[in-house]
A and B are shown apart, each in its own frame.
Chain A
Amino acid sequence: MKDNDNLNKKIDEYYDGLLEKNHELNNVLEKMNVINDIEEKVQLNINIDETLKRAEDIKIKKYTKRFIGVAIAFSLVMLSLASKLNFENIIIIQSVMLVLLLAVNIFLRSNNLKENGNE
């Protein structure tokens, strides 16, 4: 237990830059620094432009799904109303709903375009 506490203390001292230079822990941990610059030695061929395009596609799909969700919700409302109203009222409500859906579509599309930097 005492050994563990002592090691913890030395670890903290090392990372706080307070451990004496010739301490064994210092020497051991310094050896781990040999891979510090590993990112400069290894090449990972990742095309950021292409990844950005993939991200845009995913966002468009996300907005489409959201729109379909809203449309389904509207349809369900319509269905429940249709069972209680006469034909003329259904036509009026459907027209209002259509305008609302178009407005939602325009809103979601402009949001999407804004997020993709095309606006």
Chain B
Amino acid sequence: MFHSEDEIELIKKAKDGDKEALEILIANNFSIIKGYVLKLTCDIELSKDIVQETLLSAMVNINSFKGKSKFSTWLIKIATNKYKDYLRKNKENMDISLLASTYSIEDDIVIRTQVKEVLEILEEMPREKRVVFILKHYYGYSYEEISDILNCPVGTVRSRLHYSVKTIIKKFKGDF
């Protein structure tokens, strides 16, 4: 995944100290990082903390961004590490009810049930398998890119994805 010329320009300006460019860069990627962290943590309050810490870290260390990947990929890598750090100090304690309830106002009961079901599946998956599944399924990263984000071999990425898909099939009682 390569970044657009606009993004390259914004990154260059941000590195040169242009605050506005940095703000635009963050705003352009805010939705991606927010969605990723919400799926990863399945918890609104924790997502807020992780996203905030990720953005702060990106702003402070913008000069260390080499530009080998898209800016959003770099943010995802930071967020993944922030969540890993969080889990080193705290037990994983997800509260999917609040997240699932955000669908209740406008969406019908079928959607709500499906959302809850999907969040429960993600919640039950071990973190390292969940991360791989999210990156592959929702963000379309290649095995090599995921291996780079998670700093683990491609074979491990493949086996983790295999495990997650198998879990999902089992949960939906598919007869694959």
Contacts and interface: CB of A to CB of B under 8 A. Distances in A.
A15 B140 contact: yes
B47 to A, nearest CB: 6
B9 interface: no
Interface in A1-46: 4, 7-8, 10-11, 15, 24-25, 27-29, 31-32, 34-36, 38-42, 44-46
A116 interface: yes
A49 B56 CA distance: 11
B154 interface: no
- Determine chain B's interface SS by DSSP, over half rule: helix
B59 A52 contact: yes
Interface stretch (A54-62, A76-84, A91-99, A101-109): A54-62
Contacts of B114: 31, 34
Nearest to A55: B59
Q: Chain A, interface size: which category?
A: 35 or more
A34 B118 contact: yes
A41 B55 contact: no
B84 interface: no
B172 A44 contact: no
Interface stretch (B28-36, B70-78, B87-95): B28-36
Interface residues of B, number: 51
B158 A41 contact: no
Contacts, number: 114
- Determine chain A's interface SS by DSSP, over half rule: helix
Given A35-B39, A44-B48, A27 B55 contact: no
B19 interface: yes
B131 interface: no
A108 B118 CA distance: 51
Interface in A45-77: 45-46, 48-49, 51-52, 54-55, 58-59, 62
Contacts of B109: none
B19 A52 contact: yes
Interface of B: 16-20, 22-23, 26-27, 30-32, 34-35, 38-39, 44, 47-48, 51-52, 55-56, 59-60, 63, 99, 102-103, 111, 114-115, 117-119, 121, 136-138, 140, 158, 161-162, 165-166, 168-169, 172, 174-176
A-B complex: 6 closest residue pairs judged by Cβ atoms? A39-B35, A55-B59, A117-B19, A117-B17, A28-B174, A34-B114
